[in-house]
Amino acid sequence: MKRVVFVIGGMDGFGGAERVISLLANSGVERGWCVSVLSYDLASRARSVYELHDKVNFELLGRPGPIRTSGEWISRKLIGSLSETLRRCLSRTFYGVTKENIGARRLNSVIGRMPIHLVQRIQLLRQRLVQHNPDVVIAFTPIPNIASIIGCCASGIPVIACERGNVGERVTDSPDLMAWRSWVYPCATRLVFQTERKLRDQPSSIRARSSVIPNPASAPTYVEHEWPVSKPAIAAMGSLLDDKGFDVVLRAFALTAERHDDWDLVIIGDGPERSTLVRLRDDLGLRQRVHFLGAVSKPDSLLQRAEIFVHASPSEGFPNAVVEALACGLPVVVVDCPYGPREIVRHGIDGLLAPLGDEPALAEHLASLMSDPGKRSQMSRRALEVTERFAVLLIMDKWAELIEEAIDDSPGSH
Protein backbone atom coordinates (compact mmCIF):
# COMPACT_ATOMS: atom_id res chain seq x y z
CA MET A 1 0.00 0.00 0.00
CA LYS A 2 1.49 3.33 -1.07
CA ARG A 3 1.82 5.91 1.68
CA VAL A 4 1.25 9.36 0.18
CA VAL A 5 1.47 12.62 2.13
CA PHE A 6 0.22 15.96 0.79
CA VAL A 7 1.53 19.21 2.30
CA ILE A 8 -0.22 22.58 1.93
CA GLY A 9 -0.48 25.86 3.77
CA GLY A 10 -4.21 25.44 4.39
CA MET A 11 -7.32 23.64 3.12
CA ASP A 12 -9.85 26.24 4.25
CA GLY A 13 -9.99 28.21 0.99
CA PHE A 14 -11.70 27.73 -2.36
CA GLY A 15 -8.46 27.78 -4.35
CA GLY A 16 -7.26 25.48 -7.08
CA ALA A 17 -4.58 23.83 -4.93
CA GLU A 18 -7.12 22.86 -2.27
CA ARG A 19 -9.47 21.45 -4.90
CA VAL A 20 -6.77 19.41 -6.63
CA ILE A 21 -5.48 18.00 -3.33
CA SER A 22 -9.00 16.91 -2.37
CA LEU A 23 -9.48 15.18 -5.73
CA LEU A 24 -6.07 13.53 -5.59
CA ALA A 25 -6.48 12.42 -1.98
CA ASN A 26 -9.91 10.94 -2.63
CA SER A 27 -8.75 9.25 -5.83
CA GLY A 28 -5.73 7.84 -3.98
CA VAL A 29 -7.94 6.24 -1.32
CA GLU A 30 -10.02 4.66 -4.07
CA ARG A 31 -6.80 3.27 -5.57
CA GLY A 32 -5.90 1.69 -2.23
CA TRP A 33 -3.34 4.26 -1.04
CA CYS A 34 -2.84 5.37 2.55
CA VAL A 35 -3.33 9.13 2.22
CA SER A 36 -2.58 11.95 4.65
CA VAL A 37 -3.03 15.70 4.18
CA LEU A 38 -0.79 17.85 6.39
CA SER A 39 -1.81 21.48 6.76
CA TYR A 40 -0.22 24.48 8.48
CA ASP A 41 -3.69 25.84 9.31
CA LEU A 42 -4.54 27.33 12.66
CA ALA A 43 -6.72 25.04 14.77
CA SER A 44 -9.61 27.52 14.44
CA ARG A 45 -9.50 27.09 10.65
CA ALA A 46 -8.77 23.37 10.58
CA ARG A 47 -11.15 22.25 7.88
CA SER A 48 -11.29 21.49 4.20
CA VAL A 49 -13.94 23.33 2.23
CA TYR A 50 -13.70 20.54 -0.33
CA GLU A 51 -15.00 17.15 0.75
CA LEU A 52 -12.38 14.59 1.78
CA HIS A 53 -12.96 10.83 1.87
CA ASP A 54 -13.45 9.40 5.36
CA LYS A 55 -10.22 7.43 4.98
CA VAL A 56 -8.11 10.51 4.24
CA ASN A 57 -6.08 11.41 7.33
CA PHE A 58 -6.25 15.21 7.74
CA GLU A 59 -3.72 16.59 10.24
CA LEU A 60 -2.51 19.96 11.43
CA LEU A 61 1.19 20.66 11.40
CA GLY A 62 0.53 23.84 13.34
CA ARG A 63 1.56 27.38 12.58
CA PRO A 64 5.05 28.73 13.30
CA GLY A 65 5.29 30.99 16.32
CA PRO A 66 5.15 34.79 16.06
CA ILE A 67 8.08 36.62 14.50
CA ARG A 68 9.22 39.65 16.46
CA THR A 69 10.51 41.53 13.42
CA SER A 70 10.33 40.91 9.69
CA GLY A 71 14.11 40.78 9.48
CA GLU A 72 14.71 38.22 12.23
CA TRP A 73 17.06 35.42 11.17
CA ILE A 74 17.63 31.97 12.60
CA SER A 75 20.02 31.24 15.46
CA ARG A 76 23.41 29.53 15.27
CA LYS A 77 21.87 26.39 16.71
CA LEU A 78 19.32 26.20 13.92
CA ILE A 79 22.03 26.91 11.34
CA GLY A 80 23.94 23.94 12.68
CA SER A 81 20.94 21.63 12.54
CA LEU A 82 20.21 22.48 8.90
CA SER A 83 23.69 22.88 7.45
CA GLU A 84 24.40 19.28 6.50
CA THR A 85 20.86 18.64 5.27
CA LEU A 86 20.90 21.71 3.07
CA ARG A 87 24.44 20.99 1.88
CA ARG A 88 23.29 17.59 0.63
CA CYS A 89 20.22 19.16 -0.95
CA LEU A 90 21.99 22.00 -2.75
CA SER A 91 24.98 19.90 -3.82
CA ARG A 92 22.74 17.93 -6.18
CA THR A 93 21.83 20.53 -8.76
CA PHE A 94 22.55 24.01 -7.39
CA TYR A 95 23.43 25.52 -10.77
CA GLY A 96 26.65 23.52 -11.05
CA VAL A 97 27.68 23.84 -7.44
CA THR A 98 29.15 20.60 -6.10
CA LYS A 99 29.55 19.28 -2.61
CA GLU A 100 33.23 20.13 -2.71
CA ASN A 101 32.82 23.82 -3.50
CA ILE A 102 29.99 24.70 -1.13
CA GLY A 103 32.11 26.10 1.66
CA ALA A 104 30.82 25.97 5.23
CA ARG A 105 31.03 29.73 5.64
CA ARG A 106 29.14 30.36 2.41
CA LEU A 107 26.51 27.75 3.19
CA ASN A 108 25.96 29.11 6.71
CA SER A 109 25.56 32.58 5.21
CA VAL A 110 22.90 31.24 2.83
CA ILE A 111 21.06 29.41 5.59
CA GLY A 112 21.43 32.40 7.87
CA ARG A 113 19.22 34.40 5.55
CA MET A 114 16.40 31.91 5.82
CA PRO A 115 13.40 33.52 7.56
CA ILE A 116 12.41 32.05 10.93
CA HIS A 117 8.92 31.02 9.73
CA LEU A 118 10.41 28.85 6.98
CA VAL A 119 12.82 27.10 9.37
CA GLN A 120 9.95 26.42 11.75
CA ARG A 121 7.88 24.93 8.95
CA ILE A 122 10.74 22.63 7.98
CA GLN A 123 11.11 21.45 11.58
CA LEU A 124 7.38 20.84 12.03
CA LEU A 125 7.23 18.88 8.80
CA ARG A 126 10.32 16.76 9.47
CA GLN A 127 8.97 15.70 12.85
CA ARG A 128 5.65 14.62 11.37
CA LEU A 129 7.18 12.77 8.41
CA VAL A 130 9.17 10.57 10.79
CA GLN A 131 5.81 9.33 12.09
CA HIS A 132 4.25 8.82 8.64
CA ASN A 133 7.26 7.33 6.82
CA PRO A 134 5.68 8.13 3.42
CA ASP A 135 6.67 6.70 0.04
CA VAL A 136 6.24 10.14 -1.49
CA VAL A 137 5.47 13.70 -0.40
CA ILE A 138 3.45 15.98 -2.68
CA ALA A 139 3.60 19.67 -1.77
CA PHE A 140 1.62 22.60 -3.16
CA THR A 141 2.61 26.30 -3.33
CA PRO A 142 6.11 27.75 -2.79
CA ILE A 143 6.62 27.73 0.98
CA PRO A 144 5.32 24.15 1.54
CA ASN A 145 7.34 23.13 -1.54
CA ILE A 146 10.57 24.59 -0.15
CA ALA A 147 9.93 23.17 3.33
CA SER A 148 9.16 19.71 1.92
CA ILE A 149 12.19 19.55 -0.39
CA ILE A 150 14.62 20.54 2.38
CA GLY A 151 12.79 18.54 5.05
CA CYS A 152 12.90 15.30 3.03
CA CYS A 153 16.43 15.61 1.68
CA ALA A 154 18.26 13.74 4.44
CA SER A 155 15.72 10.89 4.51
CA GLY A 156 15.64 10.36 0.75
CA ILE A 157 11.86 10.58 0.62
CA PRO A 158 10.90 11.68 -2.92
CA VAL A 159 9.16 15.04 -3.18
CA ILE A 160 6.87 16.25 -5.93
CA ALA A 161 6.67 20.05 -5.75
CA CYS A 162 3.67 21.64 -7.41
CA GLU A 163 3.88 25.23 -8.62
CA ARG A 164 0.56 27.05 -8.54
CA GLY A 165 -0.28 30.47 -9.81
CA ASN A 166 2.28 32.72 -11.44
CA VAL A 167 5.04 32.89 -8.85
CA GLY A 168 7.31 35.88 -9.23
CA GLU A 169 4.77 38.33 -10.62
CA ARG A 170 2.62 38.84 -7.53
CA VAL A 171 3.40 41.79 -5.31
CA THR A 172 3.40 39.42 -2.31
CA ASP A 173 6.26 37.34 -3.71
CA SER A 174 9.31 38.51 -1.78
CA PRO A 175 12.86 38.42 -3.18
CA ASP A 176 13.82 36.00 -0.40
CA LEU A 177 11.03 33.61 -1.42
CA MET A 178 12.11 33.77 -5.05
CA ALA A 179 15.75 33.19 -4.13
CA TRP A 180 14.99 30.10 -2.06
CA ARG A 181 12.71 28.82 -4.80
CA SER A 182 15.51 29.07 -7.37
CA TRP A 183 18.01 27.37 -5.02
CA VAL A 184 15.83 24.53 -3.79
CA TYR A 185 13.41 23.61 -6.60
CA PRO A 186 16.08 21.87 -8.71
CA CYS A 187 16.51 19.47 -5.77
CA ALA A 188 12.93 18.16 -5.98
CA THR A 189 12.39 14.65 -7.32
CA ARG A 190 9.78 16.01 -9.69
CA LEU A 191 8.13 19.41 -10.29
CA VAL A 192 4.65 19.97 -11.67
CA PHE A 193 3.48 23.02 -13.61
CA GLN A 194 -0.01 23.67 -14.89
CA THR A 195 0.80 24.90 -18.39
CA GLU A 196 3.34 24.19 -21.13
CA ARG A 197 4.21 27.87 -21.42
CA LYS A 198 5.09 28.12 -17.73
CA LEU A 199 7.34 25.09 -18.05
CA ARG A 200 9.13 26.55 -21.08
CA ASP A 201 10.01 29.67 -19.08
CA GLN A 202 11.82 27.72 -16.35
CA PRO A 203 15.63 27.33 -16.21
CA SER A 204 16.99 24.08 -17.61
CA SER A 205 17.80 22.81 -14.10
CA ILE A 206 14.06 22.82 -13.36
CA ARG A 207 12.71 21.80 -16.78
CA ALA A 208 14.75 18.59 -16.74
CA ARG A 209 12.68 17.09 -13.95
CA SER A 210 9.30 18.71 -14.59
CA SER A 211 5.91 17.68 -15.94
CA VAL A 212 2.81 19.58 -17.00
CA ILE A 213 -0.46 18.48 -15.43
CA PRO A 214 -3.42 20.88 -15.75
CA ASN A 215 -6.22 21.08 -13.23
CA PRO A 216 -9.16 18.74 -13.86
CA ALA A 217 -12.58 19.94 -14.97
CA SER A 218 -15.43 18.38 -13.02
CA ALA A 219 -19.03 18.14 -14.15
CA PRO A 220 -21.23 20.75 -12.41
CA THR A 221 -22.76 19.96 -9.04
CA TYR A 222 -26.25 21.25 -8.38
CA VAL A 223 -26.83 23.15 -5.17
CA GLU A 224 -29.53 25.77 -5.53
CA HIS A 225 -28.73 29.36 -4.57
CA GLU A 226 -30.79 32.50 -4.82
CA TRP A 227 -30.26 34.36 -8.10
CA PRO A 228 -30.54 38.14 -7.60
CA VAL A 229 -31.51 39.34 -11.08
CA SER A 230 -34.24 38.84 -13.65
CA LYS A 231 -32.24 40.30 -16.57
CA PRO A 232 -29.58 38.55 -18.63
CA ALA A 233 -26.34 38.64 -16.65
CA ILE A 234 -22.59 38.39 -16.95
CA ALA A 235 -20.89 36.48 -14.12
CA ALA A 236 -17.43 36.94 -12.62
CA MET A 237 -16.03 34.79 -9.83
CA GLY A 238 -13.00 34.58 -7.56
CA SER A 239 -11.34 35.95 -4.45
CA LEU A 240 -11.74 39.73 -4.26
CA LEU A 241 -8.04 40.58 -4.12
CA ASP A 242 -6.23 43.56 -5.57
CA ASP A 243 -4.43 41.38 -8.14
CA LYS A 244 -7.49 39.59 -9.53
CA GLY A 245 -8.71 42.26 -11.94
CA PHE A 246 -12.24 42.83 -10.67
CA ASP A 247 -11.71 46.57 -11.04
CA VAL A 248 -11.02 45.91 -14.73
CA VAL A 249 -14.24 43.88 -14.97
CA LEU A 250 -16.23 46.75 -13.47
CA ARG A 251 -14.75 49.35 -15.81
CA ALA A 252 -15.20 47.14 -18.86
CA PHE A 253 -18.82 46.50 -17.94
CA ALA A 254 -19.32 50.24 -17.46
CA LEU A 255 -18.18 50.78 -21.05
CA THR A 256 -20.98 48.50 -22.27
CA ALA A 257 -23.65 49.40 -19.73
CA GLU A 258 -25.33 52.22 -21.66
CA ARG A 259 -25.52 50.27 -24.93
CA HIS A 260 -26.79 47.16 -23.15
CA ASP A 261 -28.97 48.52 -20.39
CA ASP A 262 -30.88 45.24 -20.15
CA TRP A 263 -27.83 43.39 -18.76
CA ASP A 264 -26.47 43.09 -15.20
CA LEU A 265 -23.17 41.91 -13.73
CA VAL A 266 -23.02 39.37 -10.89
CA ILE A 267 -19.79 38.91 -8.89
CA ILE A 268 -19.40 35.67 -6.91
CA GLY A 269 -16.71 35.69 -4.23
CA ASP A 270 -15.43 37.65 -1.28
CA GLY A 271 -12.20 39.13 -0.03
CA PRO A 272 -10.43 42.17 1.39
CA GLU A 273 -11.05 44.32 -1.70
CA ARG A 274 -14.84 44.01 -1.58
CA SER A 275 -15.47 47.45 -0.03
CA THR A 276 -13.11 49.08 -2.54
CA LEU A 277 -14.89 47.38 -5.42
CA VAL A 278 -18.30 48.37 -4.08
CA ARG A 279 -17.14 52.01 -4.00
CA LEU A 280 -15.86 51.73 -7.56
CA ARG A 281 -19.19 50.26 -8.65
CA ASP A 282 -21.05 53.16 -7.10
CA ASP A 283 -18.63 55.72 -8.58
CA LEU A 284 -19.29 54.23 -12.02
CA GLY A 285 -23.04 54.65 -11.51
CA LEU A 286 -23.69 50.90 -11.48
CA ARG A 287 -25.24 50.44 -8.04
CA GLN A 288 -28.40 48.89 -9.51
CA ARG A 289 -26.58 46.91 -12.18
CA VAL A 290 -23.77 45.08 -10.31
CA HIS A 291 -24.51 42.54 -7.60
CA PHE A 292 -21.98 41.14 -5.09
CA LEU A 293 -23.09 37.69 -3.90
CA GLY A 294 -20.23 36.82 -1.54
CA ALA A 295 -18.40 33.49 -1.33
CA VAL A 296 -20.34 30.39 -2.37
CA SER A 297 -18.97 26.87 -1.84
CA LYS A 298 -20.73 25.27 -4.83
CA PRO A 299 -21.48 28.05 -7.31
CA ASP A 300 -22.38 25.97 -10.37
CA SER A 301 -26.11 26.65 -10.16
CA LEU A 302 -25.35 30.39 -10.08
CA LEU A 303 -23.03 30.19 -13.08
CA GLN A 304 -25.66 28.31 -15.05
CA ARG A 305 -28.10 31.18 -14.58
CA ALA A 306 -25.69 33.59 -16.27
CA GLU A 307 -25.24 34.08 -20.02
CA ILE A 308 -21.54 35.02 -20.15
CA PHE A 309 -18.52 34.66 -17.86
CA VAL A 310 -15.75 37.27 -17.62
CA HIS A 311 -12.29 36.93 -16.07
CA ALA A 312 -9.72 39.74 -16.03
CA SER A 313 -6.90 38.64 -13.72
CA PRO A 314 -3.55 39.99 -14.98
CA SER A 315 -1.60 37.04 -13.55
CA GLU A 316 -2.67 33.40 -13.41
CA GLY A 317 -1.45 29.84 -13.24
CA PHE A 318 -4.46 27.87 -14.41
CA PRO A 319 -7.66 29.80 -13.61
CA ASN A 320 -10.13 27.32 -12.17
CA ALA A 321 -12.95 29.85 -12.32
CA VAL A 322 -12.69 29.86 -16.12
CA VAL A 323 -12.72 26.05 -16.22
CA GLU A 324 -15.77 25.91 -13.94
CA ALA A 325 -17.62 28.44 -16.07
CA LEU A 326 -16.90 26.48 -19.26
CA ALA A 327 -18.06 23.27 -17.57
CA CYS A 328 -21.34 25.04 -16.83
CA GLY A 329 -21.75 25.83 -20.54
CA LEU A 330 -20.86 29.53 -20.38
CA PRO A 331 -19.03 31.30 -23.20
CA VAL A 332 -16.12 33.11 -21.55
CA VAL A 333 -14.36 36.42 -22.12
CA VAL A 334 -10.91 36.26 -20.57
CA VAL A 335 -7.89 38.55 -20.37
CA ASP A 336 -5.03 36.80 -22.12
CA CYS A 337 -2.46 37.05 -19.34
CA PRO A 338 0.87 35.26 -19.82
CA TYR A 339 0.01 31.85 -18.34
CA GLY A 340 -3.19 29.81 -18.29
CA PRO A 341 -6.02 31.31 -20.33
CA ARG A 342 -4.63 30.47 -23.79
CA GLU A 343 -4.29 26.79 -22.85
CA ILE A 344 -7.89 26.66 -21.63
CA VAL A 345 -9.91 29.01 -23.86
CA ARG A 346 -10.16 28.27 -27.58
CA HIS A 347 -10.55 31.76 -29.02
CA GLY A 348 -13.65 32.03 -31.18
CA ILE A 349 -14.79 28.50 -30.29
CA ASP A 350 -15.78 28.51 -26.62
CA GLY A 351 -14.72 32.02 -25.66
CA LEU A 352 -12.83 35.18 -26.52
CA LEU A 353 -9.40 36.33 -25.38
CA ALA A 354 -8.77 40.03 -24.80
CA PRO A 355 -5.26 41.54 -24.76
CA LEU A 356 -3.81 42.18 -21.32
CA GLY A 357 -4.22 45.83 -20.31
CA ASP A 358 -6.81 46.65 -22.99
CA GLU A 359 -10.07 47.39 -21.16
CA PRO A 360 -11.88 48.69 -24.29
CA ALA A 361 -11.09 45.42 -26.09
CA LEU A 362 -12.45 43.46 -23.13
CA ALA A 363 -15.60 45.59 -23.22
CA GLU A 364 -16.00 45.04 -26.98
CA HIS A 365 -15.71 41.26 -26.58
CA LEU A 366 -18.40 41.38 -23.92
CA ALA A 367 -20.62 43.56 -26.11
CA SER A 368 -20.20 41.24 -29.09
CA LEU A 369 -21.60 38.34 -27.10
CA MET A 370 -24.27 40.40 -25.35
CA SER A 371 -25.69 41.39 -28.74
CA ASP A 372 -25.48 37.96 -30.42
CA PRO A 373 -27.57 35.15 -28.83
CA GLY A 374 -26.70 32.78 -31.66
CA LYS A 375 -22.98 33.19 -31.05
CA ARG A 376 -23.48 32.69 -27.32
CA SER A 377 -25.45 29.51 -27.95
CA GLN A 378 -22.85 28.10 -30.31
CA MET A 379 -19.98 28.80 -27.90
CA SER A 380 -22.00 27.42 -25.00
CA ARG A 381 -22.26 24.02 -26.68
CA ARG A 382 -18.52 23.88 -27.31
CA ALA A 383 -17.71 25.12 -23.80
CA LEU A 384 -19.01 21.85 -22.31
CA GLU A 385 -16.17 19.98 -24.02
CA VAL A 386 -13.85 21.22 -21.27
CA THR A 387 -14.91 18.27 -19.08
CA GLU A 388 -13.54 15.94 -21.75
CA ARG A 389 -10.39 17.94 -22.50
CA PHE A 390 -9.47 18.05 -18.80
CA ALA A 391 -11.39 14.99 -17.59
CA VAL A 392 -10.89 14.15 -13.92
CA LEU A 393 -9.98 10.50 -14.61
CA LEU A 394 -7.45 11.54 -17.27
CA ILE A 395 -5.75 14.03 -14.94
CA MET A 396 -5.76 11.62 -11.99
CA ASP A 397 -4.10 8.94 -14.16
CA LYS A 398 -1.34 11.42 -15.05
CA TRP A 399 -0.76 12.09 -11.37
CA ALA A 400 -0.69 8.35 -10.53
CA GLU A 401 1.90 7.76 -13.25
CA LEU A 402 4.05 10.64 -11.99
CA ILE A 403 3.89 9.36 -8.40
CA GLU A 404 5.08 5.93 -9.57
CA GLU A 405 7.98 7.54 -11.44
CA ALA A 406 9.00 9.63 -8.43
CA ILE A 407 9.02 6.62 -6.12
CA ASP A 408 10.95 4.48 -8.62
CA ASP A 409 13.56 7.22 -9.16
CA SER A 410 14.16 7.89 -5.48
CA PRO A 411 17.40 6.69 -3.85
CA GLY A 412 16.88 3.09 -2.84
CA SER A 413 13.27 3.24 -4.12
CA HIS A 414 12.14 4.26 -0.64
Domains and CATH numbers, the chain: 3-216+392-409 (3.40.50.2000), 233-389 (3.40.50.2000)
pLDDT at 161: 95
* Mean pLDDT of the region 45-53: 79
pLDDT at 110: 58
CA–CA separation, 134 and 155 (whole Å): 10
pLDDT over 60 (residue 64): no
Mean pLDDT comparison of 118-132, 194-208, 353-367, highest-scoring range: 353-367
* Mean pLDDT of the region 176-188: 78
pLDDT confidence tier of residue 81, bands split at 50, 70 and 90: low
Between residues 312 and 115, which one has the greater pLDDT? 312
pLDDT at 51: 87
CA–CA separation, 84 and 14 (whole Å): 38
For residues 79 and 145, is the Cβ–Cβ distance under 8 A? Answer: no
pTM of the model: 0.84
Percentage above 70 pLDDT, the chain: 81
pLDDT at 94: 43
pLDDT at 89: 60
Coil/strand/helix, residue 291: strand
**Of 218, 223, 157, 232, the residue nearest 188 (C-alpha):** 157
Tell me the DSSP string of 131-176.
Answer: HH--SEEEEESHHHHHHHHHHHHTTT--EEEE--S-TTSSTT--HH
For residues 351 and 331, is the Cβ–Cβ distance under 8 A? Answer: yes
Looking at every residue in the chain, the average pLDDT score rounds to 85
pLDDT at 167: 54
Which residue type occupies 213?
I
pLDDT at 99: 43
